[in-house]
Structure 1
Amino acid sequence: MYMDAIRNKKLPNPGTASYDTLEVAEKDPLILAKLHFYMAITRTFSPFLTFYQKDVPVIPFLAKDLAEMMKSMLRRFVKKEGFKDMSSLQLVRLDVSDKQSWVNLKEVNMGLGAESLLKVML
């Protein structure tokens, strides 16, 4: 309603970057799928971030947990054979720009919400 009021000149355009972002997002037909994808990514990061916001010493677990989180993120886009048995150092040096290591576009794990929305749209 706010965006419509600005378009109909009932309210002045605030001229802020936030408003411009909302205006672009409103015109994007894939915005809901993108937001669901971001939510799926957030679900991967949230437990990690929550665990490391404690007042007890958890630093000894950081390297292993960070490597597991990175593998979890990479599984969405990179073929599993490429990094399955890699050490943390090898994982950091992984060349993700190599198109041969990418999964097929239809196999990218973007989360159930985004996949459901895209199926309805197509």
Structure 2
Amino acid sequence: KPGFWQPAMQVNYPDADVPFTRIVEIKHATGQNVDATTIVREFPKDWKPGEEPYYPVPAPDAKAAYQKYAALAAEEKHTSFIGRLATYRYYNMDQVTAMALTEADRLLALHGTP
């Protein structure tokens, strides 16, 4: 019967016991209402010279742009910047979740509960 194999287009699996990092079900993007589906499981591997990296490799001009935006972000007094885009570093989902919880604790200690 028509429907989806998983609840969202992309489901991430950060658990070390699972050999793949995510499953993508394509028809979420296309909006198809058909019996069949296509899923893609992504398996990580260590990068070696001459291969295409699993994640983008930062370029020097991108790092310079990040430093410019980081300086602007540091001037913001009522905004929190955390995670990959805020630090221009790769993090696993559990690390970013921990960052968010730490920042929430900091803000609650500073301002109290709403």
TM-score of Structure 1 vs Structure 2, range by shorter chain: under 0.3
Which protein is richer in strand relative to its size? 2
Where relative contact order (Cα < 8 A, 6+ residues apart) is larger, the structure is 1
Which protein is richer in helix relative to its size? 1
TM-score (structure 2 length as normaliser): 0.24
TM-score (structure 1 length as normaliser): 0.23
